[in-house]
Structure 1
C-alpha cells in the first residue's frame, strides 16, 4: 500500500494568507458546532447552506488549492484551538487526483487526516465526501476517478464514517452542477450536495 504524502503547507503565499485568515476566524469564536475542511470545492460551499444541511452552525475552513497533505498540515496548525465540533465534513482530493496521485496515496492521506481530526477535535460524526465528476484531465481517466471513489468508500466502511456520495447527489448529468470550468460547483451543485448531506445526516 502506498504511503501518504507528508503534511505540507500551501505552496502559494496567497494560500498561506487565506489560511491565516481562517485561523483568525477560528480564534475569534464562537467555537463552531460543525466544520468543513478541504479544497476549493469545500471553500465554495456557502455557510448558510451548510448550516441548514447540518442543522448546526457550521464554519467553513476550506481553502482553494488544498491537496490532502495541505489539509493535514492546516489541521495541525489549527489544533491549537480546542474546539469540539459535533460534526466534521471532509471534502478534499480532487487536486491530489489532478496531480496524478493514485487511490492508495490519496486514501492513505485521508485516513491520516481522519485520525488527526479524531485526535485533536474528537467530532463524533465525520462525513467524507467522494471526488465529484470533473472534466477529464489528460493524465487521468473517469475510470481512475471511480477507482478513487471506490477506495474512499472502503475507507468509510473501515473507519465507520459517513459517506457523502457526490455522484449520486449531482445525478446523471453532473456538468449541470458545475461552473463553466467543469470543475467548481455552481449554486445548483451546492444545493444538490446540501440536500444530500441533510438527508444523510437525518437518516444516518
Structure 2
C-alpha cells in the first residue's frame, strides 16, 4: 500500500515532525498579540483591512479568545503526541483566516495562508487513519498503527514552545536585556535542533523498531 510505505518512511516522518514545529510556531506571534490584548496591525481604519482588524480588536474578549486558541493549537502541534488535535484546531482557525485574506484581498498574505492550508491538509492526511472511526456507523474499525514520534521529539517540542513563546512575547523590556534573552533563546533552539537531529541520524538504523 502506497500510504503505508510513505507513512513508514523515516525521511517522511522527519519532515512531518518538523512541519508540525513550523506550523505550530506560525501561530505564536499573532496569537500572543491577541491574547495580551494588543492590536495586530497599525493600518488605517479607513482601509477595509484596517477597519476589519480594528473591529476584531474592539470585540474585547473574543480577540483574547482567538489569540488563546491560536497559542493552544500551536502548543498541541509542538507536543507531537497531541499533534492531531492541534492540527484540527489549526484547520478550524486557519480556514477562517484563509478566507479572510482572500476576500479582503490581502497583498501577498493570501499566498502565505494558502501554503499554510496545504501544510495543514498534509498533516491531516498523514494522521487520517486516526479519524476513520469518526466516519463509521455501526461498524468495527481497525486503526492501523504506525511509528509515532519518540520522547526526544516531544521534549524538543516543549523546548521550542518555551523559546518561541519567549521570542514572540511583546512588551517593554530593557534593550540590553532583551537582546541577551533573544540570543539565549535562539541558541537554545539551535542547540535543541542540532542535538535531536544528530541523535536521530545516529540512531537511524533503529528508528522504526523503537518508533523513532
Output the TM-score relative to the length of structure 1. 0.27
**Larger strand percent:** 1
**Larger helix percent:** 2
Output the TM-score relative to the length of structure 2. 0.27
Q: Is the radius of gyration larger for structure 1 or structure 2?
A: 2
